[in-house]
Amino acid sequence: MTGGSPVDVLVVGGGPVGLGCALYAARHGLTVQVLEPRSGPVDKACGEGLMPGGVAALAELGVEPDGHAFRGIRYLGPTASAVADFRAGTGLGVRRTELHDRLSAQVARAGVEVLPLALDGLDQHADRVEVRTRGHHGTAGATLAARNVLAADGLHSPTRRLLRLDHPVGGRPRFGQRQHFRVAPWSDHVDVLWGARAEAYVTPVADDVVGVAVLSDHRAPLSEHLTGFRPLLERLARCEAVSAVAGAGPLRQRSRRRVAGRVLLVGDAAGYVDALTGEGISLGLAQARAAVAAVVAGRPSQYERGWVAATWRCSLLTGALRQSTRPRLVRRALVPAAAAAPWVFSAAVNELGRAA
Ligand SMILES: Cc1cc2nc3c(=O)[nH]c(=O)nc-3n(C[C@H](O)[C@H](O)[C@H](O)COP(=O)(O)OP(=O)(O)OC[C@H]3O[C@@H](n4cnc5c(N)ncnc54)[C@H](O)[C@@H]3O)c2cc1C
């Protein structure tokens, strides 16, 4: 049984991209509902650095979270370092809980209902999609009807799996972990430290808190990874940890397509390359805008092109950088190469910075 007439857009997932979809859709006067089973300010393993393009996209949606601004990206290796400042705007380090709070408040102001339900299945019809849901403790929820579904249900998207759109990926899987520490930020850049087997990046997220994220294809506890970054470890040893370690992965995910009938995959659900370049949220917001534009035009299939236009540059750069993490020699040469060719490094950072 479905309850009532279909809404224009049902968003699956109330992460930053899902809530961004809801705001873009509401701005176009569409009727919107969001499904998000997790309650309270939703946290997630994330480096929490918003690129200038993402900061601008949020501001356009009326969302201006508190955080700590950063000027650009600094790469630090054992023998060399390279710095690139953003040419336009600043980035913002922002706790996911703060971002979620601010987006949720704006979604509520837009009159969008967020239902505490998870998508459990779906059936596509010529004029609508019927979505089966489940509530807390796995109890069956209502079946909802929508003219279009925007699935922003994350890296391991249940919607992508249901639609059999998962595409196998090669290479060694990489994983990410993060934790927060109470300490005044010591850099006005996001610092990316290149170790022998992992990359650690430090993002200022408040005047007295930094987030430390570690990425690697070697699975080990965060504390073990940090032993590969002596100076950072020594600094953190004197600081109080203010969050539990959270992890995510495998990071690389691919989808065969972004559109299946009236269902559009957005954000991490549409595919993900790596967290190394920290543009996931900004890119996701650009996808949200493109997906809503396709729905408003009445041509969901148009989103495939919009998705490619929004993502190809960043995917190429992130993919190339991800490749460089593997061969030892290339890995060791990366920071010295960035230091030797600062204009190339700056061009890459600014390309990523304008995502969204
Ligand atoms: C270690 C690490 C570091 C990163 N660093 C950065 C960074 O510095 N900057 C940056 O911009 N990005 C970064 N990213 C990427 C960023 O975290 C993601 O790109 C971003 O979270 C994508 O948002 P999303 O809304 O698509 O997915 P998510 O944030 O994963 O949200 C998906 C939502 O869907 C919900 N959901 C799941 N299943 C269902 C279901 N069945 N029904 C309904 N809802 C469901 C979940 O509860 C969740 O709230 C990093 C990622 C990792 C892993």
Domains plus CATH for the chain? 7-66+93-169+252-331 (3.50.50.60)
Q: Whose CA is nearest to atom 21 of ligand 1?
A: 281
Give residue 3's pLDDT: 57
Our answer on whether the CB atom of 46 is closer than 6 Å to any ligand 1 atom is yes
Our answer on whether the CB atom of 154 is closer than 6 Å to any ligand 1 atom is yes
Our answer on whether the CB atom of 280 is closer than 6 Å to any ligand 1 atom is yes
Q: Whose CA is nearest to atom 44 of ligand 1?
A: 13
Instruction: Give me the sheet containing 271-272, strands edge to edge.
Output: 166-167, 253-255, 271-272
Our answer on whether the CB atom of 150 is closer than 6 Å to any ligand 1 atom is no
Our answer on whether the CB atom of 191 is closer than 6 Å to any ligand 1 atom is no
Decide if 91 contacts 351 (C-beta within 8 A): no
Q: Which atom of ligand 1 is nearest to the CA of 249?
A: 53
Distance of CA 346 from the midpoint of ligand 1 (Å): 27
- Residue of 42, 44, 98, 192 to test ligand 1 pocket, by largest number of atoms within 8 Å of CB: 44
Q: Whose CA is nearest to atom 7 of ligand 1?
A: 278
Q: Which atom of ligand 1 is nearest to the CA of 16?
A: 25
Distance of CA 8 from the midpoint of ligand 1 (Å): 24
Closest CA to 307 of 277, 274, 267: 267
Q: What is the pLDDT along the chain (356 residues), one digit of tens a residue?
A: 455 789 999 999 999 999 999 999 999 999 999 999 999 889 999 999 999 999 999 999 999 999 999 999 999 998 899 999 999 999 999 999 999 999 999 999 999 999 999 999 999 999 999 999 999 888 999 999 999 999 999 999 999 999 999 999 988 999 999 999 999 999 999 999 999 889 999 999 999 999 999 999 999 999 999 999 999 999 999 999 999 999 999 999 999 999 999 999 999 999 999 998 989 999 999 999 999 999 999 999 999 999 999 999 888 888 888 888 877 778 888 898 888 888 888 888 888 888 77
Our answer on whether the CB atom of 12 is closer than 6 Å to any ligand 1 atom is yes
Our answer on whether the CB atom of 11 is closer than 6 Å to any ligand 1 atom is no
Distance of CA 154 from the midpoint of ligand 1 (Å): 5
Give residue 314's pLDDT: 87
Cα–Cα distances in angstroms (integers) from residue 193 to residues 205, 295, 334, 339, in the given order: 17, 41, 11, 14
Q: Whose CA is nearest to atom 31 of ligand 1?
A: 15
